[in-house]
């Protein structure tokens, strides 16, 4: 005898709404920074066309690779898989790759450092940390007017991520508003962690996230 289970319509609606929020957040945090980086690169390539056509051509080739990578991320999102870059390079390698792509076309120095040894992380933690760093760096290069930025990652019972820039600094209102900031906080909260944005001690903005691994 087969037993039939009926799921309340309200439960189905909540599940569907949560699924939509997850997809929208992944699009914003994953594909959004990728396309923003490509747009910045195209602006740089346009400036290079007259003075350095060969350099512009090299940059355009890099941007083409980034577009293909973004397409791969979209396919992974549709298939509910992890971002291809994280799967292929790991968290640290993926962050370093993103930073290399950014600094190759922008006048900003970004330093990435891993303090101590980071153990093998659950996929959910690696992806959340990667998305948080990407969104934070995208905010830095598009809004902060910063000349330098540093990214620090370390493990001390949980994964810690810190992004500090020397830009104009976020106001209290900016620290609590915006889809990107809300998304970063939600990613940390989903893992039982936290993410906060504050003015740096010497100006600029500091983002700090702590992500439990269990």
| Domain span including residue 177 | 9-212
Q: What is the pLDDT of residues 97-113, one digit of tens each?
A: 989 988 887 788 999 99
Q: Evaluate whether residue 18 is within a structural domain.
A: yes
CATH number at residue 154: 3.30.565.10
Q: Evaluate whether residue 62 is within a structural domain.
A: yes
Q: Evaluate whether residue 3 is within a structural domain.
A: no
Q: Evaluate whether residue 23 is within a structural domain.
A: yes
Report which secondary-structure segment, H or E, holds 205.
strand 205-212
Q: How far apart are CA 60 and CA 65, in angstroms?
A: 9
Q: Evaluate whether residue 106 is within a structural domain.
A: yes
pTM: predicted TM-score of the whole model, two decimal places: 0.67
Share of the chain above pLDDT 90, in %: 33
Give me the torsion for CA of 53, 59, 61, 62, rounded to 10°.
170
Q: Evaluate whether residue 2 is within a structural domain.
A: no
Q: Could you tell me the CA-to-CA distances from 172 to 77, 126, 147, 181 in Å, in that order?
A: 33, 29, 22, 12
Instruction: Compute CA 150 distance to the chain's CA centroid, rounded to the nearest angstrom.
Output: 15
Q: What is the pLDDT of residues 35-84, one digit of tens each?
A: 888 888 888 888 888 899 898 898 888 888 888 777 777 766 655 456 77
Count of domains forming the chain: 1
Q: Evaluate whether residue 1 is within a structural domain.
A: no
Q: Evaluate whether residue 157 is within a structural domain.
A: yes
pLDDT of residue 23: 61
């Amino acid at each position: 005898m087969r037993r039939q289970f009926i799921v309340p319509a309200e439960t189905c609606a909540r599940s569907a709404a949560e699924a939509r929020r997850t997809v929208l957040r992944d699009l914003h945090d994953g594909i959004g920074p990728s396309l923003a980086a490509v747009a910045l690169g195209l602006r740089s390539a346009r400036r290079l066309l007259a003075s350095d056509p060969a350099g512009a051509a090299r940059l355009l080739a890099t941007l083409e690779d980034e577009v293909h990578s973004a397409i791969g991320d979209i396919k992974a999102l549709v298939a509910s898989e992890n971002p291809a870059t994280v799967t292929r390079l790991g968290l640290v390698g993926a962050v370093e790759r993103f930073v290399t792509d950014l600094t190759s076309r922008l006048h900003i120095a970004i330093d990435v450092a891993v303090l101590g040894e980071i153990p093998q992380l659950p996929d959910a933690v690696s992806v959340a940390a990667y998305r948080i760093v990407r969104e934070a760096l995208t905010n830095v290069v598009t809004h902060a007017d910063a000349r330098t930025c540093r990214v620090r990652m370390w493990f001390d019972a949980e994964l810690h991520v810190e992004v500090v820039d020397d830009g104009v600094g976020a106001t209290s209102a900016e620290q609590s508003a915006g889809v990107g900031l809300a998304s970063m906080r939600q990613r940390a909260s989903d893992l039982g962690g936290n993410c906060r944005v504050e003015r740096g001690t010497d100006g600029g903005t500091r983002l700090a996230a702590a992500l439990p691994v269990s």
